[in-house]
C-alpha cells in the first residue's frame, strides 16, 4: 500500500465533498477542517512508523501486532488534544455518561458485536487465537482509533461544519459522514502500485460499525462505550 497516495485519496474525497457543500451554500470553517485533516495525517504517519520501529525496541521486539504504533498514535493524539484548546467533554474523554444513555448504548454495543461477529463468520477468514492477538484486540484498537476518529477528528469537524462548538443537526450529519467515511476508508480503500483497490467487505463492515460507534459517542457524550464496543467486537472477531 502506498500510504501517501492512499491518504491523499481519502482526504481528497472529503475535500471534494466540502467544496460541493460550499457551492451549495453550506458554511464551513477552514481552520478546524485543516486541524482535522492534520489529525488524520499524523495518525497515518505514526501508526506505520511504530510498526517499523517495533523490532528495534527491546520491549516490543518479537511481537507480531502493531503495539508500538498504537502507543505512538495514542500519545500523539493526546499531545494534539492538549495543544488544541478542546475540553475533555469536546472529545469525549470523560467517564460521565449522558442521562438515560446507558440502556440504549448497551443495546447498540450488543448489536455492533453481533454484526461484526456474524460478518466475520460469513467471511470465514479463519480464527487466530494466539494470546498476543487476543490481548491486542481486547485492549488496543479502540484506544487510539476512538480518540483519533470519534474524539479529535469528530470535534474538529463539528466546528468546521457548525457554529463554533455547538453540535447542530447539520454539523452532526456532515461531520459524522466524513468521520465514518475516513474510518471505513482506512480499512478498505487503498492505493497499491498506483491503482485504487477497494476491499468491499472491509469497507462495508467498518463503515457500518463506524456509524454505530459514532452513535454511541454522540448518545453517551463519551468515548467509553465506543472503546468498549470497538475492542469487544474485534476480540470476538478473532474467533472466526
Task: Decide: 111 and 118 in contact? Cβ < 8 Å.
Answer: no
Q: Residues 215, 168, 218, CA angle at the centre, nearest 5°?
A: 20
Lowest-confidence pick of 30-34, 47-51, 123-127, 194-198: 123-127
Q: Residues 175, 166, 94, CA angle at the centre, nearest 5°?
A: 85
When pLDDT is cut at 50, 70 and 90, the band that residue 127 belongs to is low
Average pLDDT, the chain: 94
Query: For a pLDDT cut of 70, what percent of the chain falls above it?
Result: 98
Task: Decide: 156 and 167 in contact? Cβ < 8 Å.
Answer: no
Q: What is the C-alpha separation between 227 and 213, in angstroms, rounded?
A: 8
Upper half-sphere CA count for residue 6 (Cβ side, 13 Å): 21
* Residue-range domain boundaries for the chain: 3-34+88-237
Q: What is the pTM of this model?
A: 0.94
Q: What is the C-alpha separation between 136 and 87, in angstroms, rounded?
A: 29
* pLDDT exceeds 70 at position 139: yes
Amino acid at each position: 500500500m502506498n500510504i501517501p497516495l492512499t491518504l491523499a485519496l481519502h482526504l481528497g474525497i472529503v475535500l471534494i465533498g466540502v467544496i460541493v457543500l460550499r457551492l451549495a451554500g453550506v458554511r464551513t470553517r477552514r481552520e478546524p477542517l485543516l486541524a482535522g485533516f492534520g489529525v488524520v495525517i499524523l495518525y497515518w504517519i505514526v501508526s506505520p512508523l511504530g510498526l517499523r520501529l517495533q523490532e528495534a525496541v527491546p520491549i516490543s521486539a518479537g511481537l507480531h501486532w502493531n503495539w508500538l504504533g498504537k502507543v505512538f498514535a495514542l500519545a500523539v493524539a493526546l499531545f494534539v488534544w492538549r495543544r488544541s484548546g478542546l475540553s475533555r467533554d469536546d472529545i469525549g474523554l470523560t467517564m460521565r455518561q449522558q442521562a438515560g444513555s446507558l440502556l440504549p448504548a448497551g443495546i447498540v454495543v450488543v448489536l455492533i458485536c453481533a454484526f461484526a461477529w456474524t460478518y466475520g463468520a460469513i467471511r470465514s477468514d479463519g480464527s487466530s487465537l494466539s494470546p498476543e492477538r487476543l490481548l491486542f484486540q481486547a485492549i488496543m484498537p479502540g484506544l487510539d482509533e476512538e480518540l483519533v476518529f470519534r474524539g479529535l477528528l469528530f470535534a474538529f469537524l463539528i466546528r468546521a461544519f457548525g457554529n463554533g462548538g455547538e453540535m447542530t443537526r447539520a454539523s452532526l450529519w456532515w461531520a459524522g459522514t466524513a468521520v465514518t467515511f475516513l474510518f471505513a476508508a482506512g480499512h478498505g480503500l487503498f492505493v497499491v502500485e498506483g491503482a485504487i483497490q477497494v476491499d468491499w467487505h472491509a469497507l462495508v463492515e467498518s463503515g457500518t460499525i463506524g456509524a454505530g460507534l459514532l452513535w454511541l459517542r454522540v448518545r453517551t457524550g463519551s468515548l467509553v462505550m465506543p472503546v468498549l464496543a470497538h475492542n469487544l467486537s474485534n476480540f470476538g472477531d478473532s474467533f472466526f
